[in-house]
Structure formats: C-alpha cells, structure tokens
C-alpha cells in the first residue's frame, strides 16, 4: 500500500466515525453524553470533523489533493442544500 492509499483509508475510517457520531446524535440528541464520559454527541461530531480536516491536510501535503474551499464553491453548496431543504419542507418531510 502506498502513502496515498493509506491516507485514503484513514479518510474513509474518519468518515465512518463521523457517520457513527451522527447516528448517535439522531437517536439521542446533540447534548446526550457518551456513557462514562462527559463528552456530548455534539463534541464527538466536532472532534471527528476535526480529524477529517487533519487527514485532508495530510492528503494535501503528501499527495497534492486540493480541496475546493473558495467562497463561491461553498456558497453554491449551501444554496443547493437550502433548495433541497425547501423541497423537502414542501413535500412534508422536513419540519421547522
């Protein structure tokens, strides 16, 4: 396995950890704490997203993977998500 594949596997694992933290949050809420700790689900999500950022930085440094972080790219994504949220709301699946 080369360095690029190693880092991609790390990114995949971190994404799975974010998914797990999100499913816990959907089941128990943002402020619920992990058993035997004081860590909330919100903090778990934040920690896992930070871990992803670290892997992204390594991919950038080690493999030249560039992330589109321009304001326009981000604004366009937010616009698309909001459009689909409106569609979901109009369809009766999303409540305010």
Q: What is the DSSP string of 33-71?
A: B-TTS--BHHHHHHHHHHHHHHHHHHHHHHH-PPP---H
Distance of CA 42 to the CA centre of its chain: 12
Average pLDDT over residues 78-96: 95
Look at residue 47 in the predicted model and tell me its pLDDT.
97
Instruction: Copy the structure tokens of residue 80.
Output: 């698309």
Maximum separation of any 2 CA atoms in the chain, in Å: 48
pLDDT per position as a tens digit, 36-73: 889 999 999 999 999 999 999 999 999 999 887 789 98
- Taking all residues of the chain, what is their mean pLDDT, rounded to a whole number? 94
């Amino acid at each position: 396995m080369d360095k690029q594949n190693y880092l991609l596997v790390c990114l995949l694992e971190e994404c799975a950890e974010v998914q797990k933290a999100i499913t816990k949050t959907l089941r128990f809420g943002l402020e619920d704490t992990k058993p035997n700790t004081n860590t909330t689900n919100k903090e778990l999500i934040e920690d896992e997203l930070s871990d992803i950022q670290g892997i992204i930085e390594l991919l950038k440094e080690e493999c030249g993977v560039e992330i589109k972080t321009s304001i326009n790219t981000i604004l366009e994504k937010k616009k698309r998500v909001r459009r689909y949220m409106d569609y979901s709301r109009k369809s009766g699946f999303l409540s305010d």
